[in-house]
Amino acid sequence: MIIKLPQHIEFILNQLKAGGFEAYIVGGCVRDILLDKEPKDWDITTSALPQDIEKAFTSTYYNNKFGTVVALIEGEEVEITTYRSEVNYSDKRHPDEVKFGVSLEEDLKRRDFTINAMAYDGQNMIDLFKGKADLKKRTIRAVGDANERYQEDALRMMRAIRFAAQLDFQIESKTWQAIIKNKELIKAVSGERIRDELMKIISSDDPFYGMWLMKESGLQAILLPELEKNVGLAQNKHHPYTAYYHALLSMAFTPSDDPLVKLAALFHDIGKPQTKEGEGEDASFHNHEIVSSKLTRRIMRRLKFPKKNIDRVSHLIRHHMFYYNIGEITDAGVRRILVRVGKHNLQDLIDLRIGDRLGSACAKAKPFKLVELEKRLIEVQKDPIDTNMLAIDGHDIMKLTDLPPGREIGLVLNQLLDEVLDDPKLNTREYLIKRAKEIDIKKIDIKGVKKSVAAKAKKLDSDELKKQFPDGGHMMSASKDS
Protein backbone atom coordinates (compact mmCIF):
# COMPACT_ATOMS: atom_id res chain seq x y z
CA MET A 1 0.00 0.00 0.00
CA ILE A 2 1.13 3.55 -0.74
CA ILE A 3 0.39 6.27 1.80
CA LYS A 4 0.74 9.94 0.92
CA LEU A 5 3.06 11.51 3.51
CA PRO A 6 3.68 15.20 4.24
CA GLN A 7 6.51 16.68 2.19
CA HIS A 8 8.84 17.27 5.14
CA ILE A 9 8.41 13.65 6.32
CA GLU A 10 9.15 12.28 2.85
CA PHE A 11 12.24 14.51 2.74
CA ILE A 12 13.56 13.05 6.01
CA LEU A 13 12.99 9.45 4.91
CA ASN A 14 14.61 10.07 1.53
CA GLN A 15 17.55 11.93 3.05
CA LEU A 16 18.33 9.06 5.42
CA LYS A 17 17.91 6.45 2.69
CA ALA A 18 20.26 8.43 0.43
CA GLY A 19 22.89 8.04 3.15
CA GLY A 20 22.52 4.27 3.02
CA PHE A 21 20.29 3.92 6.09
CA GLU A 22 16.87 2.39 6.70
CA ALA A 23 14.17 4.87 7.78
CA TYR A 24 10.50 4.42 8.70
CA ILE A 25 7.67 6.39 10.24
CA VAL A 26 6.64 4.41 13.29
CA GLY A 27 4.20 4.15 16.17
CA GLY A 28 1.18 6.36 16.68
CA CYS A 29 1.42 8.21 13.36
CA VAL A 30 1.13 4.91 11.45
CA ARG A 31 -1.77 3.86 13.64
CA ASP A 32 -3.58 7.16 13.07
CA ILE A 33 -3.07 7.04 9.30
CA LEU A 34 -4.62 3.57 9.17
CA LEU A 35 -7.56 4.85 11.22
CA ASP A 36 -8.00 7.79 8.81
CA LYS A 37 -7.00 10.24 11.54
CA GLU A 38 -4.62 13.15 11.21
CA PRO A 39 -1.42 12.26 13.09
CA LYS A 40 -0.63 14.68 15.92
CA ASP A 41 3.06 13.80 15.88
CA TRP A 42 5.43 12.18 13.43
CA ASP A 43 8.07 9.80 14.76
CA ILE A 44 10.79 8.29 12.60
CA THR A 45 13.00 5.34 13.41
CA THR A 46 16.21 4.59 11.53
CA SER A 47 19.30 2.42 11.42
CA ALA A 48 21.40 5.60 11.43
CA LEU A 49 23.22 6.40 14.66
CA PRO A 50 22.60 9.79 16.31
CA GLN A 51 25.79 11.27 14.89
CA ASP A 52 24.80 10.11 11.39
CA ILE A 53 21.38 11.72 11.77
CA GLU A 54 22.98 15.01 12.81
CA LYS A 55 25.19 14.97 9.73
CA ALA A 56 22.21 14.33 7.44
CA PHE A 57 20.34 17.51 8.41
CA THR A 58 21.42 21.11 8.82
CA SER A 59 19.33 21.96 11.89
CA THR A 60 19.17 19.38 14.71
CA TYR A 61 19.62 19.00 18.44
CA TYR A 62 20.39 15.89 20.47
CA ASN A 63 20.49 15.83 24.25
CA ASN A 64 19.28 12.48 25.52
CA LYS A 65 20.55 8.95 26.04
CA PHE A 66 17.76 7.28 24.08
CA GLY A 67 19.11 7.99 20.62
CA THR A 68 16.54 10.63 19.65
CA VAL A 69 17.61 13.54 17.45
CA VAL A 70 15.16 16.35 16.76
CA ALA A 71 15.41 17.71 13.22
CA LEU A 72 13.91 21.05 12.22
CA ILE A 73 12.50 20.68 8.69
CA GLU A 74 10.35 23.36 7.06
CA GLY A 75 9.60 24.83 10.46
CA GLU A 76 8.48 21.48 11.89
CA GLU A 77 10.26 19.57 14.65
CA VAL A 78 10.43 15.82 13.98
CA GLU A 79 11.89 13.23 16.34
CA ILE A 80 14.23 10.76 14.64
CA THR A 81 15.32 7.83 16.80
CA THR A 82 17.99 5.21 16.19
CA TYR A 83 16.84 1.58 16.31
CA ARG A 84 17.34 0.48 19.87
CA SER A 85 16.74 -2.32 22.33
CA GLU A 86 16.32 -1.79 26.05
CA VAL A 87 17.62 -3.87 28.95
CA ASN A 88 16.23 -4.06 32.51
CA TYR A 89 13.79 -1.57 34.04
CA SER A 90 14.74 -1.23 37.70
CA ASP A 91 12.36 1.69 38.28
CA LYS A 92 9.54 0.08 36.25
CA ARG A 93 9.62 3.11 33.96
CA HIS A 94 13.02 3.66 32.29
CA PRO A 95 15.53 1.17 30.83
CA ASP A 96 18.79 0.70 32.73
CA GLU A 97 20.62 0.26 29.42
CA VAL A 98 19.90 1.21 25.82
CA LYS A 99 21.62 -0.54 22.91
CA PHE A 100 21.82 1.15 19.50
CA GLY A 101 22.39 -0.40 16.12
CA VAL A 102 19.94 -3.27 16.46
CA SER A 103 17.46 -4.34 13.77
CA LEU A 104 14.04 -2.86 13.09
CA GLU A 105 12.51 -6.07 14.47
CA GLU A 106 14.33 -5.66 17.77
CA ASP A 107 13.24 -2.04 17.91
CA LEU A 108 9.58 -2.89 17.35
CA LYS A 109 9.68 -5.66 19.96
CA ARG A 110 10.26 -3.12 22.75
CA ARG A 111 7.07 -1.17 21.95
CA ASP A 112 3.93 -1.34 24.06
CA PHE A 113 0.98 -2.43 21.90
CA THR A 114 0.63 -4.03 18.50
CA ILE A 115 -1.24 -1.05 17.06
CA ASN A 116 1.79 1.11 17.96
CA ALA A 117 4.40 -1.32 16.60
CA MET A 118 3.94 -0.83 12.86
CA ALA A 119 6.42 0.95 10.59
CA TYR A 120 6.19 2.40 7.07
CA ASP A 121 9.03 3.58 4.83
CA GLY A 122 6.99 5.28 2.10
CA GLN A 123 6.41 2.07 0.18
CA ASN A 124 6.32 -0.90 2.53
CA MET A 125 4.32 -1.52 5.70
CA ILE A 126 6.14 -3.54 8.38
CA ASP A 127 3.60 -5.23 10.66
CA LEU A 128 5.39 -7.98 12.58
CA PHE A 129 2.81 -8.27 15.39
CA LYS A 130 -0.49 -8.07 13.45
CA GLY A 131 -1.25 -4.50 14.46
CA LYS A 132 -3.44 -3.94 11.39
CA ALA A 133 -5.58 -6.93 12.32
CA ASP A 134 -5.97 -5.58 15.86
CA LEU A 135 -6.97 -2.19 14.45
CA LYS A 136 -9.72 -3.87 12.47
CA LYS A 137 -10.83 -5.82 15.55
CA ARG A 138 -10.61 -2.59 17.61
CA THR A 139 -8.35 -4.32 20.11
CA ILE A 140 -5.55 -3.15 22.41
CA ARG A 141 -3.03 -6.01 22.64
CA ALA A 142 0.44 -5.97 24.19
CA VAL A 143 3.46 -6.77 22.02
CA GLY A 144 4.62 -10.18 23.21
CA ASP A 145 4.10 -10.94 26.90
CA ALA A 146 1.96 -8.24 28.54
CA ASN A 147 3.45 -8.97 31.96
CA GLU A 148 6.92 -8.22 30.63
CA ARG A 149 5.76 -5.01 28.92
CA TYR A 150 4.24 -3.70 32.18
CA GLN A 151 7.26 -4.69 34.24
CA GLU A 152 9.39 -2.71 31.79
CA ASP A 153 7.16 0.34 32.06
CA ALA A 154 4.28 0.30 34.54
CA LEU A 155 2.71 3.39 32.99
CA ARG A 156 1.77 1.23 30.02
CA MET A 157 -1.15 -0.09 32.09
CA MET A 158 -2.71 3.37 32.10
CA ARG A 159 -1.75 3.85 28.45
CA ALA A 160 -3.74 0.73 27.53
CA ILE A 161 -6.79 2.21 29.25
CA ARG A 162 -6.18 5.60 27.67
CA PHE A 163 -6.01 4.15 24.15
CA ALA A 164 -9.18 2.15 24.80
CA ALA A 165 -10.98 5.36 25.81
CA GLN A 166 -9.52 7.45 22.98
CA LEU A 167 -10.19 4.92 20.23
CA ASP A 168 -13.25 3.09 21.63
CA PHE A 169 -11.31 -0.19 21.60
CA GLN A 170 -11.46 -3.25 23.82
CA ILE A 171 -8.42 -4.41 25.78
CA GLU A 172 -7.51 -7.98 24.83
CA SER A 173 -8.05 -10.50 27.64
CA LYS A 174 -4.42 -11.37 28.46
CA THR A 175 -3.40 -7.73 28.20
CA TRP A 176 -6.22 -6.82 30.60
CA GLN A 177 -5.53 -9.61 33.07
CA ALA A 178 -1.89 -8.56 33.17
CA ILE A 179 -2.97 -5.07 34.25
CA ILE A 180 -4.93 -6.53 37.15
CA LYS A 181 -2.03 -8.80 38.09
CA ASN A 182 0.62 -6.08 37.91
CA LYS A 183 -1.38 -3.08 39.13
CA GLU A 184 0.83 -2.56 42.22
CA LEU A 185 3.72 -1.69 39.90
CA ILE A 186 2.02 1.64 39.21
CA LYS A 187 3.26 2.85 42.61
CA ALA A 188 6.75 3.17 41.12
CA VAL A 189 5.60 5.73 38.53
CA SER A 190 6.01 9.44 39.30
CA GLY A 191 3.05 11.67 40.07
CA GLU A 192 3.73 13.77 36.98
CA ARG A 193 3.47 10.74 34.68
CA ILE A 194 0.27 9.56 36.36
CA ARG A 195 -1.17 13.08 36.06
CA ASP A 196 -0.43 13.28 32.34
CA GLU A 197 -2.09 9.93 31.57
CA LEU A 198 -5.07 10.71 33.80
CA MET A 199 -5.68 13.98 31.98
CA LYS A 200 -5.41 12.21 28.62
CA ILE A 201 -8.06 9.72 29.77
CA ILE A 202 -10.30 12.58 30.90
CA SER A 203 -9.70 14.37 27.56
CA SER A 204 -10.55 11.26 25.53
CA ASP A 205 -13.70 10.74 23.49
CA ASP A 206 -15.09 8.47 26.22
CA PRO A 207 -13.76 9.50 29.64
CA PHE A 208 -16.53 7.53 31.37
CA TYR A 209 -15.24 4.30 29.80
CA GLY A 210 -11.66 5.19 30.65
CA MET A 211 -12.34 5.90 34.32
CA TRP A 212 -14.54 2.81 34.58
CA LEU A 213 -11.63 0.71 33.35
CA MET A 214 -9.40 2.44 35.92
CA LYS A 215 -11.80 1.28 38.61
CA GLU A 216 -12.25 -2.26 37.28
CA SER A 217 -8.51 -2.78 36.90
CA GLY A 218 -7.78 -1.77 40.49
CA LEU A 219 -5.54 1.12 39.42
CA GLN A 220 -8.02 3.70 40.70
CA ALA A 221 -7.96 2.27 44.22
CA ILE A 222 -4.18 2.70 44.27
CA LEU A 223 -3.92 6.10 42.59
CA LEU A 224 -7.18 7.79 43.64
CA PRO A 225 -8.30 6.14 46.90
CA GLU A 226 -10.40 9.22 47.72
CA LEU A 227 -12.49 8.65 44.59
CA GLU A 228 -12.64 4.91 45.19
CA LYS A 229 -14.52 5.54 48.46
CA ASN A 230 -17.43 6.85 46.39
CA VAL A 231 -17.92 3.46 44.71
CA GLY A 232 -21.24 1.99 45.84
CA LEU A 233 -22.10 5.03 48.02
CA ALA A 234 -25.88 5.50 47.92
CA GLN A 235 -27.11 9.10 47.93
CA ASN A 236 -30.71 10.25 48.46
CA LYS A 237 -34.03 10.89 46.76
CA HIS A 238 -32.53 13.63 44.61
CA HIS A 239 -29.80 11.37 43.21
CA PRO A 240 -30.82 8.06 41.59
CA TYR A 241 -27.20 6.96 41.12
CA THR A 242 -24.40 6.09 43.49
CA ALA A 243 -21.90 8.86 44.20
CA TYR A 244 -19.28 7.23 41.97
CA TYR A 245 -21.57 6.61 39.01
CA HIS A 246 -22.82 10.19 39.36
CA ALA A 247 -19.22 11.49 39.35
CA LEU A 248 -18.40 9.66 36.12
CA LEU A 249 -21.61 10.76 34.43
CA SER A 250 -21.10 14.37 35.52
CA MET A 251 -17.58 14.33 34.07
CA ALA A 252 -18.80 12.81 30.80
CA PHE A 253 -21.71 15.26 30.43
CA THR A 254 -19.80 18.43 31.34
CA PRO A 255 -19.88 20.38 28.05
CA SER A 256 -16.53 22.14 28.51
CA ASP A 257 -13.61 21.06 26.34
CA ASP A 258 -11.23 21.97 29.16
CA PRO A 259 -10.03 18.78 30.89
CA LEU A 260 -9.56 20.70 34.15
CA VAL A 261 -13.28 21.50 34.24
CA LYS A 262 -14.02 17.82 33.59
CA LEU A 263 -11.62 16.94 36.41
CA ALA A 264 -13.60 19.28 38.68
CA ALA A 265 -16.77 17.42 37.67
CA LEU A 266 -15.13 14.07 38.47
CA PHE A 267 -14.07 15.26 41.94
CA HIS A 268 -16.91 17.66 42.78
CA ASP A 269 -18.60 15.24 45.24
CA ILE A 270 -15.52 13.35 46.33
CA GLY A 271 -16.08 14.44 49.94
CA LYS A 272 -19.51 12.84 50.26
CA PRO A 273 -18.31 9.66 52.04
CA GLN A 274 -16.91 11.82 54.84
CA THR A 275 -19.99 14.02 55.17
CA LYS A 276 -22.87 11.60 54.79
CA GLU A 277 -25.49 11.77 57.54
CA GLY A 278 -28.39 9.36 57.70
CA GLU A 279 -29.41 6.65 55.26
CA GLY A 280 -31.95 6.14 52.54
CA GLU A 281 -33.87 8.84 50.70
CA ASP A 282 -33.34 11.47 53.38
CA ALA A 283 -29.56 11.17 53.69
CA SER A 284 -27.68 14.47 53.59
CA PHE A 285 -24.14 15.63 52.81
CA HIS A 286 -23.74 18.98 54.55
CA ASN A 287 -20.63 20.95 53.53
CA HIS A 288 -19.43 18.19 51.20
CA GLU A 289 -18.30 20.86 48.73
CA ILE A 290 -15.79 22.15 51.30
CA VAL A 291 -14.44 18.67 52.04
CA SER A 292 -14.40 17.85 48.32
CA SER A 293 -12.36 20.97 47.59
CA LYS A 294 -9.79 20.08 50.25
CA LEU A 295 -9.50 16.47 49.07
CA THR A 296 -9.07 17.66 45.50
CA ARG A 297 -6.17 19.89 46.57
CA ARG A 298 -4.54 16.91 48.23
CA ILE A 299 -4.93 14.70 45.17
CA MET A 300 -3.70 17.33 42.74
CA ARG A 301 -0.67 18.13 44.89
CA ARG A 302 0.16 14.43 45.02
CA LEU A 303 -0.02 14.28 41.23
CA LYS A 304 2.18 17.38 40.88
CA PHE A 305 -0.34 19.66 39.18
CA PRO A 306 0.75 23.30 38.84
CA LYS A 307 -0.53 25.45 41.72
CA LYS A 308 -2.67 27.61 39.42
CA ASN A 309 -4.51 24.48 38.22
CA ILE A 310 -4.99 23.25 41.78
CA ASP A 311 -6.42 26.61 42.82
CA ARG A 312 -8.74 26.74 39.84
CA VAL A 313 -10.18 23.22 40.14
CA SER A 314 -10.59 23.35 43.93
CA HIS A 315 -12.26 26.78 43.61
CA LEU A 316 -14.81 25.45 41.11
CA ILE A 317 -15.60 22.52 43.40
CA ARG A 318 -15.83 24.75 46.47
CA HIS A 319 -18.47 26.92 44.76
CA HIS A 320 -20.38 24.38 42.67
CA MET A 321 -23.28 24.47 45.18
CA PHE A 322 -24.25 28.09 44.46
CA TYR A 323 -27.95 28.68 45.11
CA TYR A 324 -30.30 30.91 43.15
CA ASN A 325 -34.05 31.24 43.04
CA ILE A 326 -35.85 33.68 40.78
CA GLY A 327 -37.27 36.69 42.60
CA GLU A 328 -35.52 35.94 45.88
CA ILE A 329 -32.04 37.39 45.34
CA THR A 330 -31.43 41.05 44.66
CA ASP A 331 -28.99 42.44 42.12
CA ALA A 332 -26.60 43.03 45.03
CA GLY A 333 -26.85 39.35 45.85
CA VAL A 334 -26.13 38.39 42.24
CA ARG A 335 -23.12 40.70 42.24
CA ARG A 336 -21.83 39.01 45.38
CA ILE A 337 -22.22 35.60 43.77
CA LEU A 338 -20.17 36.88 40.85
CA VAL A 339 -17.50 38.26 43.18
CA ARG A 340 -17.37 35.00 45.10
CA VAL A 341 -16.98 32.70 42.10
CA GLY A 342 -15.00 35.12 39.92
CA LYS A 343 -16.06 36.46 36.54
CA HIS A 344 -13.40 34.38 34.76
CA ASN A 345 -14.77 31.19 36.38
CA LEU A 346 -18.39 31.83 35.50
CA GLN A 347 -18.68 29.74 32.32
CA ASP A 348 -16.69 26.90 33.87
CA LEU A 349 -19.03 26.88 36.85
CA ILE A 350 -22.11 26.86 34.61
CA ASP A 351 -20.62 23.96 32.63
CA LEU A 352 -19.91 22.12 35.88
CA ARG A 353 -23.51 22.65 37.01
CA ILE A 354 -24.79 21.32 33.68
CA GLY A 355 -22.68 18.18 34.06
CA ASP A 356 -23.87 17.83 37.65
CA ARG A 357 -27.52 18.04 36.57
CA LEU A 358 -27.22 15.63 33.64
CA GLY A 359 -25.22 13.28 35.83
CA SER A 360 -28.22 13.21 38.18
CA ALA A 361 -30.63 12.12 35.41
CA CYS A 362 -32.15 15.61 35.11
CA ALA A 363 -33.89 15.96 31.77
CA LYS A 364 -32.96 19.60 31.24
CA ALA A 365 -29.32 20.65 31.29
CA LYS A 366 -30.34 24.24 32.00
CA PRO A 367 -33.53 24.83 33.97
CA PHE A 368 -35.20 28.21 33.55
CA LYS A 369 -33.73 29.63 36.74
CA LEU A 370 -30.18 28.72 35.71
CA VAL A 371 -30.76 30.47 32.38
CA GLU A 372 -32.15 33.44 34.31
CA LEU A 373 -29.12 33.48 36.62
CA GLU A 374 -26.74 33.51 33.63
CA LYS A 375 -28.68 36.42 32.19
CA ARG A 376 -28.54 38.39 35.43
CA LEU A 377 -24.86 37.64 35.95
CA ILE A 378 -24.11 39.03 32.50
CA GLU A 379 -26.17 42.13 33.27
CA VAL A 380 -24.40 42.94 36.54
CA GLN A 381 -20.91 42.44 35.11
CA LYS A 382 -20.95 46.05 33.98
CA ASP A 383 -21.35 47.07 37.62
CA PRO A 384 -18.28 47.48 39.85
CA ILE A 385 -17.49 44.04 41.25
CA ASP A 386 -13.83 44.42 42.19
CA THR A 387 -11.60 47.20 43.48
CA ASN A 388 -10.15 47.82 40.02
CA MET A 389 -13.60 49.01 38.92
CA LEU A 390 -13.96 51.63 41.66
CA ALA A 391 -13.97 55.32 40.71
CA ILE A 392 -10.88 55.86 42.88
CA ASP A 393 -7.74 53.77 43.25
CA GLY A 394 -4.90 53.10 45.67
CA HIS A 395 -3.03 56.26 44.71
CA ASP A 396 -6.11 58.33 45.57
CA ILE A 397 -6.38 56.59 48.93
CA MET A 398 -2.73 57.35 49.76
CA LYS A 399 -3.22 61.04 48.94
CA LEU A 400 -6.43 61.27 50.95
CA THR A 401 -5.25 59.39 54.05
CA ASP A 402 -1.47 59.82 54.04
CA LEU A 403 -1.21 56.04 54.35
CA PRO A 404 1.95 54.43 52.93
CA PRO A 405 1.71 51.66 50.30
CA GLY A 406 0.62 48.44 51.98
CA ARG A 407 -2.30 46.24 52.90
CA GLU A 408 -4.15 49.09 54.62
CA ILE A 409 -4.81 50.60 51.18
CA GLY A 410 -6.40 47.35 50.09
CA LEU A 411 -8.52 47.23 53.23
CA VAL A 412 -9.93 50.68 52.56
CA LEU A 413 -10.64 49.82 48.92
CA ASN A 414 -12.40 46.59 49.92
CA GLN A 415 -14.54 48.43 52.46
CA LEU A 416 -15.55 50.88 49.75
CA LEU A 417 -16.27 48.02 47.34
CA ASP A 418 -18.48 46.41 49.97
CA GLU A 419 -20.71 49.49 49.92
CA VAL A 420 -20.68 49.80 46.14
CA LEU A 421 -21.73 46.16 45.71
CA ASP A 422 -24.93 47.02 47.57
CA ASP A 423 -25.51 50.14 45.48
CA PRO A 424 -23.46 50.69 42.27
CA LYS A 425 -24.71 54.31 42.14
CA LEU A 426 -22.31 55.05 44.99
CA ASN A 427 -19.37 54.43 42.68
CA THR A 428 -18.52 58.09 42.14
CA ARG A 429 -15.31 59.93 42.97
CA GLU A 430 -17.17 62.39 45.14
CA TYR A 431 -18.83 59.77 47.32
CA LEU A 432 -15.83 57.45 47.58
CA ILE A 433 -13.45 60.31 48.45
CA LYS A 434 -15.84 61.38 51.19
CA ARG A 435 -16.11 57.83 52.56
CA ALA A 436 -12.36 57.20 52.34
CA LYS A 437 -11.76 60.23 54.57
CA GLU A 438 -14.31 58.94 57.09
CA ILE A 439 -12.91 55.41 57.42
CA ASP A 440 -10.86 54.80 60.55
CA ILE A 441 -8.26 52.25 59.49
CA LYS A 442 -7.68 51.20 63.09
CA LYS A 443 -11.27 50.04 63.44
CA ILE A 444 -11.26 47.88 60.34
CA ASP A 445 -11.41 44.18 61.10
CA ILE A 446 -8.70 42.92 58.74
CA LYS A 447 -10.02 39.37 58.44
CA GLY A 448 -13.56 40.67 58.29
CA VAL A 449 -12.85 43.05 55.43
CA LYS A 450 -10.93 40.48 53.46
CA LYS A 451 -13.78 38.02 53.72
CA SER A 452 -16.75 40.40 53.87
CA VAL A 453 -17.92 39.88 50.32
CA ALA A 454 -17.71 36.10 50.51
CA ALA A 455 -19.28 36.06 53.98
CA LYS A 456 -22.26 38.13 52.92
CA ALA A 457 -22.74 35.98 49.84
CA LYS A 458 -22.56 32.82 51.95
CA LYS A 459 -25.01 34.25 54.50
CA LEU A 460 -27.35 35.23 51.69
CA ASP A 461 -27.33 31.65 50.44
CA SER A 462 -27.70 30.27 53.95
CA ASP A 463 -30.67 32.48 54.88
CA GLU A 464 -32.52 31.66 51.69
CA LEU A 465 -31.80 27.96 52.08
CA LYS A 466 -33.14 27.86 55.61
CA LYS A 467 -36.42 29.29 54.36
CA GLN A 468 -36.60 26.90 51.42
CA PHE A 469 -35.09 23.75 52.91
CA PRO A 470 -35.09 23.89 56.73
CA ASP A 471 -34.08 20.22 56.94
CA GLY A 472 -31.67 19.96 54.02
CA GLY A 473 -29.21 22.84 53.84
CA HIS A 474 -26.87 23.25 50.90
CA MET A 475 -27.10 19.70 49.67
CA MET A 476 -30.88 19.74 49.31
CA SER A 477 -30.96 23.07 47.52
CA ALA A 478 -28.36 22.04 44.98
CA SER A 479 -29.97 18.64 44.49
CA LYS A 480 -33.28 20.24 43.72
CA ASP A 481 -31.68 22.43 41.12
CA SER A 482 -28.95 20.07 39.98
- CA 437/CA 457 separation, integer angstroms: 27
- Residue 406 has a pLDDT of 80
- Residue 467 has a pLDDT of 39
Domain 145-223 has CATH 1.25.10.10: no
What is the C-alpha radius of gyration for the chain, rounded to an integer number of angstroms? Answer: 29
Delimit the domains of the chain by residue range. 7-137, 145-223, 387-456
- Residue 414 has a pLDDT of 82
DSSP string spanning 368-423? HHHHHHHHHHHHHTTS--SGGGSSS-HHHHHHHH-PPSSHHHHHHHHHHHHHHHH-
- Residue 466 has a pLDDT of 41
- Residue 94 has a pLDDT of 55
Domain 7-137 has CATH 3.30.460.10: yes
**Average pLDDT for consecutive 10-residue bins of the chain (482 residues)?**
88 95 96 94 93 91 79 90 72 58 88 97 95 97 96 96 97 98 97 97 96 97 97 86 93 95 96 90 87 96 97 92 60 72 78 88 63 69 74 86 81 84 84 84 50 46 40 34 35
- Residue 98 has a pLDDT of 62
